Amino acid sequence: MSAASTAPSSPEVVQQFSDLDIASTVTTPAVTRPSSPIPAALPPSPLPSGKHKIAVIGSGSWGSALAKIAAENAWRRKDDFHSEVRMWVREKIVNGKPLTHVINRTHLNSRYLPDITLPKNLVAVPHLKDVVKDATLIVFVVPHQFLHTVLSELSKPGVLTPGARAISAIKGVEVNGTDIQTFASLIEAKVGTPCSALSGANIALEVALGQFCETTIGCPTHDDSLLWSAVFNAPTFRVATVEDVNGVSLGGALKNIVALAAGFVDGLGLGGNTKAAILRIGLKEMTEFCLEFFEGSKAETFSNESAGIADLITTCYGGRNRKCAEEFVKSGQSFEHIERKLLNGQKLQGTATAEEVNNFLVARKRAHAYPLFEKVFQIAFEGLSPKQLVVGL
């Protein structure tokens, strides 16, 4: 069994230069030599200690991967953060033992990230109030189906620390008739904390393994950018911040609809040309949807950032939505059956988002303006043959 780490546990690549001739007769004066960058001073914590305290709500593969990074950074920056990071785990029995006990004893989340060693300062906690007690920085990464229950608990008086901030890494949107909102805006409205959004080309297992990738954090203020960069930026998890919370949120949600289309393409045995066309059309519809319905959003978030084009590419080639859509075409089984068969208890996000977005567009009488989104909904919910996917695009 892997030994738990007390400091950063991501693997580091060490390069050997012993065979290179790097001798030089030039000496740079000491005063001009660049020093290691000094981390920016963080906005003050509302806690008497002056340190920020991180809590992670969610412990699936993505939640555990983000919690791992946050705990490693909290350990490194003990002057800025309380070293203990708590992670909310919905209690389950695994091999006859509570999952929280298993995680805290072995420092492995055997259900969702087997063989990935978690830092010792990451503590699994089964009760939500205990997780967020005194927390100033709260990471939301539960399946969106459970978010309302979580927010109902957190909105009770005295549960959250005054002055706390939140970030959403949840994919999806909330639709009520002709109204639509991101989960970041829902969290902010329900519990009164400013809420940023994190999304990018981030397959959870690859992130947990320390394979290099980028992510995007959309923040409402500069202070939020400083704080969330300090929580998540790492040598193998490069953070870029933008002042576009809605764009980052929508990129993470809408790309799952396009990923279903990519899976249909794979299930039909079609080639790279067709998938590339689907990705182009999908990115266009994602961008236009955000610009049409979310004032202040930026097209550059989709074209330039990891939360846009990069995440779309990764999801359409390697994500769970693509995999399940391919199986849908090949097996003829329902998405509900496929979810149970392939996802080990995790939830399929693309179908729920496709339904929500279609309901919104129909209510706004704009479904015809987004033909790929419409086709995906019709295939997933109305029995349209997957072979009709590209007809009329």
Most confident of 6-15, 48-57, 317-326: 48-57
Residue 15: predicted pLDDT: 44
Confirm if 141 and 169 have CB atoms less than 8 A apart.
yes
Per-residue confidence band for 391, with pLDDT thresholds at 50, 70 and 90: very high
Report the pLDDT value the prediction gives residue 12, as an integer from 0 to 100.
43
pLDDT given for residue 18 in this prediction: 41
**What pLDDT was estimated at residue 6?**
46
What pLDDT, on a 0 to 100 scale, did the predictor assign at position 112? 87
Which residue among the candidates 68, 255, 275, 375 is catalytic per the annotation? 255
Contacting residues for 190 by C-beta, under 8 A, at least 6 apart: 151, 154, 155
Residue 11, pLDDT score: 42
Structural Rg of the chain based on CA atoms:
22
Note the pLDDT of residue 37: 56
Confidence at 36, pLDDT banded by 50, 70, 90: very low
**Which is nearest to 132 in space by CA: 99, 171, 92, 165?**
165
Residue 310 is given by DSSP the state: I
Task: Tell whether the model's pLDDT for residue 190 goes beyond 50.
Answer: yes
pLDDT at 300: 97
Q: So what CATH class is 52-243?
A: alpha beta
Q: What is the mean pLDDT of the segment spanning 80-100?
A: 92
Instruction: Judge whether residue 141 has pLDDT over 90.
Output: yes
- pLDDT level of residue 38 (50, 70, 90 thresholds): low
**pLDDT for res 16:** 43
Over residues 272-291, mean pLDDT: 97
Nearest to 244 by CA among 220, 280, 226: 220
pLDDT of 35 > 60? The answer is: no
pLDDT band of residue 319 (cuts 50, 70, 90) is confident
User: Which pLDDT score, from 0 to 100, does residue 233 have?
Assistant: 98
Tens of pLDDT, residues 347-382: 788 999 999 999 999 999 999 999 999 999 999 999
Q: Which amino acid is at 295?
A: E
Q: What is d(CA 364, CA 380) in angstroms, rounded to the nearest whole number? A: 21
Among 13-22, 174-183, 268-277, name the one with the lowest average pLDDT. Answer: 13-22
pTM: 0.86
C-alpha dihedral, 379 to 384 to 390 to 393, nearest 10°: -90
255 is annotated as an active-site residue = yes
**The pLDDT of residue 343:** 85
Residue 321 is predicted with a pLDDT of 94
Domain ranges of the chain: 52-243, 249-388
CA distance 93 to 114: 16
Q: CATH classification of 249-388, choosing from 3.40.50.300, 1.10.1040.10, 3.90.1640.10, 1.10.1660.10? A: 1.10.1040.10
Contact 153, 180 (CB under 8 A): no
* Mean pLDDT, rounded, of the chain: 90
CA distance 308 to 369: 20
pLDDT above 80 for 40: no
Buried b (16+ CB within 10 A) or exposed e, 273-306: ebbeebbebbbebbbebbbebbeebbeebbeebb
Instruction: Give pLDDT, residue 23.
Output: 44
3-state secondary structure of 315: helix
Residues 105-138: pLDDT tens digits? 999 998 889 889 999 999 999 999 999 999 999 9
Say which DSSP state 367 is in.
Answer: G
Per-residue model confidence as pLDDT tens digits over 220-278: 999 999 999 999 999 999 999 999 999 999 999 999 999 999 999 999 999 999 999 99
Sole residue written with tokens 């066309």? 277
Q: Does the structure show a pLDDT above 50 at 340?
A: yes
Which of helix, strand or coil describes residue 246? Answer: helix
Model pLDDT for residues 60-77, shown as the tens digit of each residue = 999 999 999 999 999 999
> Nearest Cα to 169, choosing from 203, 202, 199?
199
